[in-house]
Amino acid sequence: MATEGADALVLGAGIAGCALAYHLARGKFGRVVVLDPATPAAGATGRAAGIVTEQLWDRWDVATVRESREEYARLAVRHDPSACRVNGFLRWTSRADVVPLLAAATERLHDWGVEVEELSAAEVARRLPWARCDDLLGASFAPGDAIVAPTRLAELYLREARSLGVEFELGLSEVRLEGSQGRWQVTAGQRSWRAPCVVVAAGAWSKRLLASAGAPIPLTPYRTQAALLRPGGPAVPEFPSFHDIDLDVYARPEEAGRVLVGDGTDAVEADPTSFVTGGDERFVTHLAESFASRLPGWKDAEMLRAWAGVCVATPDRHPLIGPVPGAPGLCALTGFNGFGVMRAGGAAARLAQAIGEPEREADLLGPTLPGRFSRPYPAFPPKPGFTLEAGDEPRY
């Protein structure tokens, strides 16, 4: 079996892998090859909600998501305006004990340069006339946040990367990674590639790929659910994406008056090869109860379909981006805790720059460097979601 040489191999053709290939090629990195056993965006990217908000929990996240949104907007202007549009992002609570946390988060965001404002219950009701808002005690709104079409953006990155010479090898048989003579070798069926730089951007499959190569990092794949519905009555006008903190339900507008809703997250590890791909009864029931209590205008909405995907959690909710400890030439771009689309463009640009300028790793990748954890890695449950706390949890 002949082995092909490359300067960089990217394992995974989701939005993060396609964006990374694009940025490596822009940096004139040499021969870049993207390998995937499926089609582009076939994993979590194709099942993502596509909400892009800066209402997150530290400066790195805010900066990276802003960079992503700005890049998505440029791609949309150049190729497809429907791929990214600004509609704002709204969060609220009716719990007195949560109000101080929401206010503190809003104050932090102001300090980090995020355009976010507090809204009254009446102001929320004006933006969402089908919602019941009379008991709301606190709300925050970021008018510059956006919604995107994740699969379409992955395709646009792929198109741009190919125009710069990146090669995409898709529909491969099982991909295997191993170290070989100071380089990394990737095998798929009867084909093999070798390169001094390999980036694992394989989403839920990243944990197994890295572990099988003797380079594990702390990851927990988990199942999450979403649904597409069509409210009854008049067509739903454009509205801000929103997150009900108390019910832990989010929603965003979709085309043709439809609405995408979630969050049906399972707080246990999932197997990316054998998970249940449809929405389960518990999730659908939770949505129905949420609509009845908070969104009565949608209580008779038609459920068009419900689905599930597998995302990847890390112990501290930060992704794992950069060199894998003890494995020279091997990098990770994974562990996005359900926020992969939000971070993908900016994170890929930062990693591509760090690969070319390793002395800037700490500045570019900061709290996401995989070396912040040390072995042995204990098991941990996923803790994803739109959190309110600052990103200063203790790390092991």
* pLDDT per residue as tens digits for the range 104-144: 999 999 999 999 999 999 999 999 999 999 999 999 999 99
Out of 147-151, 152-156, 176-180, 392-396, pick the least confident: 392-396
Q: How confident is the model at residue 391 (pLDDT cuts 50, 70, 90)?
A: low
Alpha-carbon distance 199 to 121, whole Å? 46
Which amino acid does the sequence have at 281? E
Q: 70 is in which domain, residue-wise?
A: 1-88+147-219+314-396
362-375 pLDDT per residue, tens: 999 999 999 999 88
Looking at the fold, whether 228 and 245 belong to one and the same domain comes out as: yes
Cβ pair 65, 52 in contact under 8 A: yes
Strand order in the sheet with 191-195: 3-5, 191-195, 183-188, 175-180
User: Taking 80 as the threshold, does the pLDDT of residue 208 lie above it?
Assistant: yes
pLDDT of residue 182: 67
pLDDT of residue 121: 97
pLDDT of residue 189: 87
β-strands 167-170, 32-36 pairing: parallel
Alpha-carbon distance 263 to 303, whole Å? 15
Looking at the fold, whether 162 and 305 belong to one and the same domain comes out as: no
Looking at the fold, whether 61 and 152 belong to one and the same domain comes out as: yes
pLDDT of residue 390: 62
Q: Which two tokens stand for residue 367?
A: 């709290």
Alpha-carbon distance 370 to 377, whole Å? 12
Looking at the fold, whether 230 and 300 belong to one and the same domain comes out as: yes
Domain boundary among 313, 346, 379: 313
Q: How confident is the model at residue 233 (pLDDT cuts 50, 70, 90)?
A: confident
Looking at the fold, whether 257 and 382 belong to one and the same domain comes out as: no
Looking at the fold, whether 141 and 197 belong to one and the same domain comes out as: no
Using alpha carbons, list the distances in angstroms from residue 210 to 90, 184, 214, 277, 305: 37, 12, 6, 24, 34
23-81 pLDDT per residue, tens: 999 998 999 999 999 999 999 999 999 999 999 888 999 999 999 999 999 999 999 99
**Paired residues of 199 in beta bridges:** 10, 331
User: Taking 60 as the threshold, does the pLDDT of residue 395 lie above it?
Assistant: no
Q: What is the DSSP string of 195-211?
A: ES-EEE--GGGHHHHHH
Question: Which residues neighbour 215 within 8 Å (Cβ) at sequence distance 6 or greater?
Answer: 324, 325, 326, 327, 330
135-163 pLDDT per residue, tens: 999 999 999 999 999 999 999 999 999 99
pLDDT of residue 157: 98
Q: Among candidates 386, 358, 356, which has minimal Cα distance to 371? A: 358
332-362 pLDDT per residue, tens: 999 999 999 999 999 999 999 999 999 999 9
β-strands 320-323, 330-334 pairing: antiparallel
Looking at the fold, whether 167 and 282 belong to one and the same domain comes out as: no
Domain boundary among 251, 283, 313: 313
pLDDT of residue 181: 67
Looking at the fold, whether 142 and 156 belong to one and the same domain comes out as: no
β-strands 175-180, 241-244 pairing: unpaired
**In whole numbers, what is the pLDDT of the chain averaged over residues?**
92
Q: In this structure, what CATH number is given to the domain that contains residue 188?
A: 3.50.50.60
Cβ pair 153, 73 in contact under 8 A: no
Q: How confident is the model at residue 173 (pLDDT cuts 50, 70, 90)?
A: confident
Looking at the fold, whether 162 and 243 belong to one and the same domain comes out as: no
pLDDT of residue 394: 32
Domain boundary among 277, 298, 313: 313
The pTM (predicted TM-score) of the whole model is 0.95
Alpha-carbon distance 17 to 118, whole Å? 36
Looking at the fold, whether 200 and 230 belong to one and the same domain comes out as: no
pLDDT of residue 21: 98
pLDDT of residue 393: 40
Q: In this structure, what CATH number is given to the domain that contains residue 278?
A: 3.30.9.10
Looking at the fold, whether 226 and 362 belong to one and the same domain comes out as: no
Domains held by the chain: number: 2
Alpha-carbon distance 330 to 215, whole Å? 9
pLDDT of residue 299: 84
Q: Which two tokens stand for residue 166?
A: 């990146």
